Chains A and B, each alone.
Chain A
Amino acid sequence: MTRFLLRRALWFLVTTWAVVTAAFFLLRAAPGGPFSGERKLHPSVEANLRAQYHLDWPLWKQYAHTVGPLNLDERGPFGDGSDWFGGVLALDFGPSMQHRDVTVNDVLAQSLPISIALGSLALALALVLGLGAGVASAHKPGSRLDGLVRAAATSGLVLPNFVIASLLILVFAFWIPVLPVAGFGAPRHFVLPAVALALPFAAYIARLSRAGLLETLSKDYIRTALAKGAPRSRILWRHALRGALAPVVSFLGPAAAGVLTGSLVIERIFAIPGAGTHFVASALNRDYTLAMGVTVVYAVLVFGFNTLVDVAYTLLDPRLDLERDA
């Protein structure tokens, strides 16, 4: 296990480096820059701004400065040495180019917890709803309940989430005014967004767990247990579900990374100041530094959760050997 995790850590560094490099060049190659606007800046002002953010440096130097860990500007070891370390490797992304008096770290520190709160609620909700529906539907396959759950689960996957969110607002905020339409601050503000975010995932989990359960139920050891007269519901919950969880767990890895970094659509509709907005906004605004920050966060989460999933796999299925598989 240790060896597996070490190798993973190494791969993590390589992947993050590749992602950072790709994001760095992708955004800089796209037309437009952080300081273009409807009013064109005076050339001298723009030159000064570009100098402030080191956009006047040759690309390799900007890249080295972005990656870090040493600051290449006047603060670094080659300048006054007031702040030696910076860049991605020092987890210091520098000032945001759009929000000129805020650092990228500030932006992330304020928005990520909100997205994580919303995401973990949505994930928990999706698991409860999805597993519940999956088990209910596998209890008597082919029954009316099963059909209903399957239809509901499929319908969660056939509508864009902005449509789902709009319909939820229409029903629970306008027709039956029990929840706020949007906004952020009190716990009740989280309800509709969490539900809207959870529904597609719940649908997917329900499908996966149903299929997994049906497969496991046909296995010999379950048949033996059934033949011995153990109640079906007990077998479902205690024995079969465990075997059926593997696909759900493997789906949860990337899903969690996606959910926890926030959903732009849900955040925009419900006016929630989460991190999802910054993924699109930083790219659209050519906010190179903020874009680098969100990219690294995303890469870390994706990689971290995939590793977690692999570890969880061995817990669910002891036959798997991570050492060999790594």
Chain B
Amino acid sequence: MSASTPPTPPSAGPKPAEGEHGWFRDEDFERALVEIQRQAPESLWRKARERLARRASVRWSLRFLVFLALLSWLAPLMPLPSPSAIAVASEPSPPVFPWEVWGDTNFTPDYAGLGALDRALVRLRVAIFDDWRTGPWLGADALGRDLLARVVWGSRTSLLVALCAALTSLAIGATWGATAGLVGGRVDNALMRIVDVLFSIPTIFLVIFLLSFLDAPSAELGREPLLSREQVFFLVVGAVSWLSMARVVRGQVLELERAAFVEAARVAGASTFWILRKHVLPNVLGIAVVNLTLTLPSVILYEAFLSFLGLGVEPPKVSWGLLASEGAEALNPLESYTWLIVAPAIAMATTLLALQTLGDGLRDAFGLEERGER
């Protein structure tokens, strides 16, 4: 059950094509040829890029996302306090404006749990900034951990989860859907019925099952498990979110198979492979990319939901969902530590807003309609 996100609507079976080509069959052949020229696959992507670039909101979203990706990738390089270093305080401390406390010089690098690249980045950071670090601009939590650092480092987990899970869902979903759509017949029927069944199982069952299986403990002391906890987490979230991707891709493949320009190409004697490469692939890729962009926000929200249940990432790793659920827990009438929830909420909201805008822009650019994916 996807309790935290509105369930993604399933799309029904083969519905008559109602896209841009629905009117075609009633028109004369000459116009069809013109249309084929116009809809040539190369131009689809080029036109999409043009349309995309025209929209200021999309441009800004893209810039923001690129900035965020860089920021989270280069987080170890930033002169931030350690996100996991504990300085146990009696209660969360409120934000301090940068002009009041600009920074401090008590940073000690902590390499535990970092990969080789991140270690190098931390070393570089020490070389550049020495032990200087920023002040508590966003405040700190009850264990004295700097919230700004946690939000920045949390973006790494959240974005990585989103990206990996979305790619997993693309890999499984697109393969599944394309197979169903291309092979058709009984195979199609069987594959889509499996999707129906999976849709009807509360996802939380799958999550618990997969987590408990993939996260088996290591037999020997100190031996790294085969998959790290985050990798397990990526896989699990991806494995439960590919269903709608499969339906969308299959629907698009079926639509294309019946589409006039594909028929025309077939009549003109084009090979199946050529049709696949020139017509089906670019068109399916378009819709898959759009769906991917829209899967990212729902994966980030699902991660938050799992964190709320306590099934999220492990400390010292930190994610936005974890921060938000910690912040939500801290709200109460005696003392609302509002900054604990506001900071991760704003980070999450802006990112998701940017992703949504980008997704909408992409969808418009590819000339797809916003409908219940039906």
On whether A and B touch (CB less than 8 Å), the answer reads yes
Give A contacts to B, CB under 8 Å: 11, 14-16, 18-19, 22-23, 26-27, 29-32, 154-155, 157-163, 165-167, 169-170, 173-174, 181, 200-201, 204, 207-208, 211-212, 215, 246-251, 253-255, 257-258, 261, 263-265, 269, 276, 279-280, 283-284, 291, 294-295, 298-299, 302-303, 306, 310, 320, 325
In the complex, chain B residues whose CB is within 8 Å of the CB of A261: 1
| B99 lies within 8 A of chain A by Cβ | no
Which residues, 286 to 305 on B, are CB-close (under 8 Å) to A?
297, 301, 304-305
Tell me the minimal C-beta distance from B7 to chain A in angstroms.
4
Identify which of A162, A279, A325 contacts B202 (C-beta below 8 A). Answer: A279
Tell me the minimal C-beta distance from B294 to chain A in angstroms.
10
15 new A-B pairs (CB below 8 Å) besides A169-B331, A170-B331?
Answer: A15-B197, A19-B197, A23-B201, A30-B208, A32-B212, A155-B353, A158-B297, A158-B353, A204-B6, A207-B370, A250-B372, A251-B6, A265-B4, A279-B202, A283-B204
In the complex, chain B residues whose CB is within 8 Å of the CB of A200: 5-6
User: B13 near A283 (CB under 8 angstroms)?
Assistant: no
Closest chain A residue, CB of each to CB of B294 = A157
Number of interface residues of B (CB under 8 A): 58
User: A255 near B7 (CB under 8 angstroms)?
Assistant: yes
Closest chain A residue, CB of each to CB of B334 = A174
User: B308 near A265 (CB under 8 angstroms)?
Assistant: yes
In the complex, chain A residues whose CB is within 8 Å of the CB of B304: 160, 162-163
Q: A18-B197, A161-B4 are contacts. A325–B12 as well, Cβ < 8 Å?
A: yes
Main secondary structure of the interface of A (DSSP, over half): helix
User: A302 near B199 (CB under 8 angstroms)?
Assistant: yes
Tell me the minimal C-beta distance from A110 to chain B in angstroms.
19
Q: A169-B331, A212-B371 are contacts. A157–B356 as well, Cβ < 8 Å?
A: yes
In the complex, chain B residues whose CB is within 8 Å of the CB of A254: 7-10, 199
Identify which of B200, B333, B369 contacts A19 (C-beta below 8 A). Answer: B200
Identify which of A26, A215, A265 contacts B3 (C-beta below 8 A). Answer: A265
Task: Kindly state the separation between the CA atoms of A303 and B11 in the bound complex, as whole angstroms.
Answer: 13
Main secondary structure of the interface of B (DSSP, over half): helix
| 10 cross-chain CB contacts under 8 A | A15-B196, A157-B352, A162-B325, A162-B328, A163-B328, A166-B328, A174-B336, A250-B373, A264-B309, A325-B12
Could you count the A-B residue pairs with CB atoms below 8 Å apart for me: how many are there? 182
| B374 lies within 8 A of chain A by Cβ | yes
Closest chain B residue, CB of each to CB of A326 = B13
Task: Kindly state the separation between the CA atoms of A279 and B14 in the bound complex, as whole angstroms.
Answer: 32
Closest chain B residue, CB of each to CB of A269 = B328
User: A255 near B1 (CB under 8 angstroms)?
Assistant: no
| B245 lies within 8 A of chain A by Cβ | no
| B237 lies within 8 A of chain A by Cβ | no
Contact mask B308-342 → A, CB, 8 Å, 1/0? Answer: 11000000000001001101100101001010010
Q: A30-B213, A160-B301 are contacts. A23–B205 as well, Cβ < 8 Å?
A: yes
